[in-house]
Structure 1
Amino acid sequence: MTSFYEINGNKILLKQQLSYVAANSPFYKKHFQSNKINIAEIESYEDFKQIPITTKEDLQHFNKEFISVPGDEIIDYVTTSGTLGNPVSFALNDADLDRLAENERRSFEMLGVKKSSVVQITTTLDRRFMAGMAYFLGLRKLGAGIIRTGSGLPGLQWESIERFKPEFLVAVPSFLLKLIDFAIQNGIDYKNSSVKAAVCIGEPLRNPDFSLNSLGRRIKELWDIDLFSTYASTEMGTAFTECEFHEGNHSLLKLIFAEVLDENQEPVDKGEIGELVVTPLQTKTMPLIRFATGDMVKFYGKNCKCGRESLRISTPVGRKQQMIKLRGTTLYPQQIINLLTAFQSLKIFVIEARLNKTKTDEILVRIPEDFAEVNELQEHLQAGLKVKVVLKKASVEEIEKLKFPRESRKPKLFHDFR
């Protein structure tokens, strides 16, 4: 089996990172001491695996203990999106911001952005959000033209596209559908615009077999632009990005050491699904060692047609904590989302998971009051999931309030009340 450890050539950087956290991180000083970890003895991946996993709960409960630089070195404060719990604070110093810029420069280059390109960023650069800032820093380092429209405001987006002629958009996929709807309603010839590709974040575009999922297919059918999938998180400070062949998201050498682990915390084989565990390299302010992301991804190995040595993973097929056991069938919310998105007459929905009286999982899908094809939708879902879920009608206003909660920076299609 080929592992990230063997391919990435990151052994020296990994040892440097271990030495750095052992000397500077209050959390890891205690972590290594209490688990009897001597970093000087770590010479192989088998040795490295002896370090216990760092969890999101560790970050939440001991947040300030992860800070490994003097307070006056900190330049930027951000928070996570809080998808799996309370948002976590994160801090970056000058070196971390330089690293973040290099990460995004390399990511943009991988998907074809050049110095001569113009890129429109339709994601927020405020609200303590790392991604928008990272895109700006990376494009600035690359030297590309940047249009900072921020999120929402389809009219402004199209006015900016007409005025500045960007070839690339950075966008959440579902927002691309809103742009298309606005263009159709307002007579904008969007199919002949300057836009040739979209760098997509926040929502998966592809199935584990590399095919476009229902959301990706819907966008592609309406607007024949190139769609690039990316995957990242605040904690990683690193992106996994598709190349031009769209066969998995590449890791970036020298910036991250990644593991894909099974339920026994052993590396999965090529083609298998496991939890992504990461050790970002060259981070200074809040370094993490063997951080469990909670994201379940498929591991593809190397040998991409592009010839890059980096290994590839899928975008998350689900969250480990969001796994659903429904009458003996294991599901992840994304499977349900893909099926609902594929049903084109259904324009809006949210999914809820609860425990019933017998303390077993129950799924409810809220759909609009005026939606007429309930029986057809039920059959469509049952054929795809092999189990029946409850459909419940609600007002569009109620569904929108659940889908776009005030505190969230992304659409929230799944609510877990278990």
Structure 2
Amino acid sequence: MSKKPSHNLIWDRSAECMSLSERKELQLNRLRDLIERVYVQSPFYRKLYTEHQIKPQNIRSLEDLQQLPFTVKSDLRDNYPFELFCTPLKEVVRLHCSSGTTGKPVVSAFTKNDLDMWSEMMARSFTSAGTTNRDVVHVSYGYGLFTGGLGADMGSLRVGASTVPVSGGLNNRQIMLLEDFGATVLACTPSYALVIAEAAAQLGVDIPSRFRLRTGIFGAEPWTEEMRAEIEEKLNLEAYDIFGMGEIMGPGVAVECPYHNGMHIQDDYFLPEIIDPDTGELLGPGEQGELVLTTLTKEAMPLIRYRTRDITRLEYEPCPCGRTSVRFHKLAGRTDDMLIIRGVNVFPSQIEGVLLRFEELEPQYLLMVERVNNLDRLEVLVEAKDEFYNLGEEAIEAFSNKVKHELHQMLYISTKVTIVPPRTIQRSEGKAKRIIDKRKESI
């Protein structure tokens, strides 16, 4: 997607618009410094590279990065809590970690320099979305161990905007503060943006006349272009996609510019690759595969060739905004939330894209997978809008068959579609839970 730009603000033009030759030279120098540093300071990497007969002097070009083994999420859990650190604990000024819903949580550590770098990345991101020191930024990402809230907070402060650290939840209070404080920028997950819109509608708040929102910065979960259109219509703003991972840094690793033609990776800080998720083979420009990132400047806990599990493709063509960094396109899904239904790879984002084509449906859905008589079955539960649900059972049944047909055209497998009453699917204040896979229970 490419829109007519609403602005062309750039936070650090010298860094974001440097020539490609300068960028490659900077990346190589930082990569070589990184490998030398972890080889000396990290027992984990020194052992890993010794096993693969790799020494720092082997890295003479950016292409030599391919000699290095991948790092994966299990490495972080196996070395919990501090075994991947490359600095003494006394130099670590902040610790974040995941919720730990599967095994040990994943820890991320920051030195003072790491936090300063993160703030700079987030300042770039907010500026890319048109934020200045004249804005009021309403942050509804969760604060605490989750990196979203504090990351957005630091970027907003660095830009000089008036920052409202609301966090998630208490929807009526969100509506009150958005109106009373005159927020012009909203930062939260895309699913929670729709929860806010829904709460405002239930309170009878006319958003265009009572809100001053102009821009939204949404991330932390996959979302489709159809969901973008829904958010922009309901909240009367321009929606920007932002990408990050807690273990890598947090939000701000990549962000859209006002042309909305992919997310610019902060590739003076992060070196991206695309690999075949099955073979690990490096793929060429424009080919879709798994995104792999190397943290070129992270001090406390650098990650080298970290497999993100996100599926996308890289775009090297120049962007009209003037930034010279590589871009990646909207995530097609993840290798680890990809569902395999009767031998077919299914991403939730594919299903969401179909559901949001229908104005009769709310953007609230749940995917239920179970095994019946040794066969996988996928059920899609999706909420109807009030006016449509009131048409009655016969209309709902006919419409569900229409949705089922459209899903079959997309996925090439049959699904069960259940249209449920409005406001019956549980809402989330953070990342939306979209999948319940009961097949594991039947093993």
5 Å matches for 1:246-325?
Answer: 246-263=260-277, 264-325=279-340
Tell me the CA shift for residue 186 of structure 1: 2.3
1:338 corresponds in structure 2 to 353
The C-alpha deviation readout for 1:314-364, integer Å capped at 9, x for no partner, is 232111123334345432122113223434444443113345665x75423
Change (3 A) 1:153 1:411: same
State the distance in 2 between where 1:34 and 1:24 align: 17
Residues 1:215 and 2:227 aligned together: yes
Matching residue of 1:412: 433
Question: Measured at CA, do residues 216 and 393 of structure 1 come closer, stay the same or move farther in structure 2, by a change above 3 Å?
Answer: closer
Residues of 1 paired with 2:168 and 2:39: CA distance?
Answer: 40
Aligned partner of residue 336 in structure 2, secondary structure:
helix
Partner SS state of residue 295, structure 1: strand
Is the CA contact 1:197–1:225 (under 8 Å) kept in the aligned structure 2?
Answer: yes
Q: Deviations over 1:33-64 (max 9, x none)?
A: 11111111211233220111111111111233
How far is 1:178 from its partner? 2.2
In structure 1, the residue matched to 2:131 is: 113
CA deviation digits over 1:59-93, x for unaligned, max 9?
Answer: 11123320122222222221135688753122222
**Distance in 2 (alpha carbons) for counterparts of 1:296 and 1:234:** 18
Question: SS of 1:16's equivalent?
Answer: helix
Provide the secondary structure at the position in 2 that maps to 1:66: coil
Alignment gaps of 5+ in structure 2: 1-19
User: Could you tell me which residue of structure 1 aligns to residue 254 of structure 2?
Assistant: 240
Superposition pairs of residues 374-389 of structure 1, within 5 angstroms: 374-389=400-415
Relative to the length of structure 2, the TM-score reads 0.82
Aligned residue type for 1:311 = V
Shift in Å, 1:182: 2.5
Q: Would you say 1:350 and 2:366 are equivalent positions?
A: yes
Whether 1:189 and 2:201 are equivalent positions in the alignment is: no
Q: Which secondary structure does the structure 2 equivalent of 1:342 belong to?
A: coil
In structure 2, the partner of 1:210 is: none
Match of 1:279, SS state, is strand
**In the TM superposition, what whole-angstrom CA distance separates every residue of 1:145-186 from its partner, at most 9, and x where no partner exists?**
111111122322222222222211102122222222222232
1:116-172 superposed Cα distances (whole Å, 9 cap, x missing partner): 22211011112x111211111122222221111111223222222222222111021
In the superposition, the TM-score normalised over structure 1's length comes to: 0.87
Count of aligned positions? 402
What is the correspondence of 1:31-46 to structure 2 with a 5 Å cutoff? Answer: 31-46=48-63
Determine the structure 1 residue equivalent to 2:380.
365
Shift of 1:382: 1.8
Query: Structure 1's 38 and 255: CA in aligned 2 closer, same or farther, altered over 3 A?
Result: same
Q: Letter of the aligned partner of 2:242 in structure 1?
A: T
Are 2:185 and 2:215, in contact at CA under 8 Å, matched by a contact in 1?
yes
Q: CA deviation at 1:368?
A: 6.6
Answer whether contact 2:213 2:236 (CA < 8 A) is retained.
Answer: no
Match for 1:91: what amino acid?
A: A
- Partners of 2:291 and 2:343 lie apart in 1 by 25
CA distance in 1, matches of 2:84, 2:119: 22
1:370-394 deviations in Å (ceiling 9; x for gaps)? 8734323322322332321134688
RMSD: 2.8
- Once structures 1 and 2 are overlaid, which stretch shifts more, 286-295 or 164-173? 164-173
| Match among 94, 111, 122 for residue 104 of structure 1 | 122
Structure 1 segments unaligned to the other structure (5+ residues): 207-212
Question: What SS does structure 1 have at the residue aligned with 2:253?
Answer: strand
Matched, 1:174 2:191: yes
Change (3 A) 1:301 1:353: farther
Whether the 8 Å contact between 2:141 and 2:430 is mirrored in structure 1 is no
Deviation at 1:256, TM superposition (A): 0.8
Report how far residue 196 of structure 1 moved: 0.6
**Separation in structure 1 between the aligned mates of residue 98 and residue 288 of structure 2, nearest angstrom:** 24
Partner residue in 2 for 1:11: 28
